Amino acid sequence: MLFIKIIPVSVILLLALSGTAIHPVHDVSPFSSDNNLAYNDGSSNYPHPLDSDNGWGGGAYKWHINDGIRLAASHWTYGLAFTGGRDEYIDTCGWRQATINFGRTVLINRTVIWLERDYFDEYSIEYRNEITGKWDNAVHATGKLATINTYINFYWDNQEIFHRLSIPCEDTFKVIKTEKIRFKLNNCQGGHGWINEFEVYYDKPGERPQCLVIRR
């Protein structure tokens, strides 16, 4: 299947000049697309991120992770930064999670987590099972650094984008009907975890609008 996306001329030139014909094409918009089901432009009602674990320092305002802004305007004062990690900031390392509560039942089949600086090779995307009330796995992702590194290399070549320090982890899965979804990781494996944006989508059959990575 052929995917077509209009991207800025500067990005096309960058890919051509750097000999990156085998690299994927990237959506480098600083804002989430209009069909982001997690988006809330305020700090009340639904969808909300208030079931997420607490942050610390300048990354303690949970509403930042679903305000539609992917990139940090201020490196130290944006997003949700967890405690713990290999250096055990503030608290011991361990399991951390960020949750989006839609306040209603929705259909979903794709997530994009925008991470600031801290990247994880393994994590889970879980959803609240409407029947059992338990959390089930939509995705247990492993080996993600290979994909993430394509963005890191791309951003490194484009300093205007890279200085914003936000790298996306995109996952697709079968269509799920749920009221809540969460991103879960064990930060003993690396950095403490720092999320700029948590995007959730439902792509209709045969469509993947606004996808981040175009198939080669």
CATH number of the domain enclosing 79:
2.60.120.260
**Residue 51 covered by a domain:** yes
Q: Is the pLDDT of residue 215 over 70?
A: no
**Residue 4 covered by a domain:** no
Q: C-alpha angle 134/52/102, rounded to 5°?
A: 65
Please name the residue ranges forming H helices in the chain: 9-17, 145-157, 159-162
Predicted TM-score of the model (pTM):
0.81
Give the domain extent around 134.
9-201
As for how many domains the chain has, the answer is: 1
Q: Is the pLDDT of residue 7 over 50?
A: no
Q: Which residues have CB under 8 Å from 169's CB, separation 6+?
A: 112, 113, 114, 115, 119, 120, 123, 141, 144, 147, 148
pLDDT at 205: 80
Beta strands in the chain (DSSP E): 80-81, 95-115, 123-128, 135-141, 167-186, 194-201
Express each pLDDT in 60-114 by its tens digit.
999 999 999 988 766 678 899 999 988 898 999 999 999 999 999 999 999 999 9
Higher pLDDT: 213 or 205? It is 205
Express each pLDDT in 172-202 by its tens digit.
999 999 999 999 999 987 888 999 999 999 9
Express each pLDDT in 9-60 by its tens digit.
333 323 333 333 334 455 567 889 889 999 999 999 999 999 999 999 889 9
131 conformational bin, left if phi > 0, alpha if psi -120 to 50, beta if neither = alpha
